[in-house]
Amino acid sequence: MAHRLGTSSSDIVAAVDYLRSGGVVGVPTETVYGLAASAFNVEAVSEIYRLKGRPANNPLILHIHHQDQIEQIASTIPSCLPRIVEAFWPGPLTVVLKSKTSVPEIVRAGGDTVAIRLPSHPVFQQLLATINEPLAAPSANRSNHISPTTASHVEDDFPKEPFPILDAGPTATGLESTVLSLVGVPTVLRLGATSVESLKQILPELTIKIPSHQTDSPGTSKRHYAPRTPFHIWSNQNLTTEDGVLLFGTPVPEGADHVWDLSDDPVQAGKRLYAALREMDQSHLRNLYVVLPHQDHPNQTDWLAITDRLRRATQSG
């Protein structure tokens, strides 16, 4: 079973030693918990793929502790990047750039780009500064399962694996980073915790194009973030006492006995989304349903990332 470390300096050193030995470590970020390995250790990165059951065509995000490290892994630095870095880093924004060939092919899923993020979580920052090298770190869950926002969620997904987890409590945003490609026209490839509207203030030409090919961006497979219990978008189906319903401040459907209401505040709902889905999944219900946020909500753009996660989670396998 994965075992927990704290967040003291000695715990950070222990995690660094484990990473340098070629191991993987569960790490807290401001978004979700990650499964980290040295980015340039192919065997360690391969272990991430093995543990998660992650398809080889799904690239990884590289995490850095200082923007100077970008030049170690990216071959081209767009002129707009300094403005993006100043506005959004450290924080939940991943940028996609042309990659140097020195970045292992397994990290890039065979593509010619690399995804880079400078996180804001203080424990992860300390880990990155101590090891002083980029770490590959996708979410610390089984592939396509619900993302983890606590150390116990990581343990639930890997009950028989012995890697350590730095336990810093629940994550702050609860949703993954937004993925922004700066190769060509600035394009959002994955909706996430950094809003499209805030990006457009710096990049007015920004487009949104969720890729059809997994190799272009992590987190974009058709079915993702999904509970094991059958999960559906509610559209006036008859409910029984064996069904659970997820709401966002909307009226409770008739016949609903098991209700999780995450409020009509998208920030608070995002923080609680994955924990609620995991709780629902462990409630031994027959079916789970979600009433999507109102499409005519005055702050509808703020719900884009949550709606994206829910639509993927409710896709059939």
288 with 185, same domain: the answer is no
Residue 202 lies in a domain: yes
pLDDT of residue 3: 84
Domain endpoint, select from 190, 215, 240: 215
143 with 53, same domain: the answer is yes
**Closest-CA residue to 270 (of 245, 229, 302, 227):** 302
Q: Sorting pLDDT into bands at 50, 70 and 90, what band is 196?
A: very high
51 with 193, same domain: the answer is yes
End-to-end Cα spacing for the chain: 28
Residue 22, pLDDT above cutoff 60:
yes
180 with 298, same domain: the answer is no
- For the segment 240-286, what is each residue's pLDDT rounded down to a tens digit? 999 999 999 999 999 999 999 998 999 999 999 999 999 999 999 99
pLDDT of residue 211: 72
**Residue 129 to residue 109: CA distance in whole angstroms:** 26
pLDDT of residue 302: 85
Residue 213, pLDDT above cutoff 90:
no
Give the CATH number, domain containing residue 61: 3.90.870.10
pLDDT of residue 301: 79
Total count of domains within the chain = 2
256 with 211, same domain: the answer is no
174 with 250, same domain: the answer is no
Range of the domain at 308: 231-313
Q: Sorting pLDDT into bands at 50, 70 and 90, what band is 224?
A: confident
Cα 102 to Cα 56, 138, 150, 159, 217, distances in angstroms? 18, 20, 33, 34, 19
143 with 273, same domain: the answer is no
147 with 247, same domain: the answer is no
281 with 187, same domain: the answer is no
- For the segment 109-132, what is each residue's pLDDT rounded down to a tens digit? 999 999 999 999 999 999 999 999
Residue 219, pLDDT above cutoff 90:
no
123 with 59, same domain: the answer is yes
**Closest-CA residue to 219 (of 31, 87, 90):** 31
Query: In terms of residues, how long is the chain?
Result: 317
Residue 220 lies in a domain: no
Task: Spell out the alpha helix ranges (H) of 21-93.
Answer: 42-52, 70-73, 81-88
**Closest-CA residue to 28 (of 39, 12, 9):** 12
31 with 87, same domain: the answer is yes
Q: Sorting pLDDT into bands at 50, 70 and 90, what band is 297?
A: low
Residue 150 lies in a domain: yes
Over residues 224-253, the mean pLDDT reads 94
- Mean pLDDT for the chain overall: 94
Residue 295 lies in a domain: yes
- Per the model's pLDDT, the better-predicted residue between 294 and 238 turns out to be 238
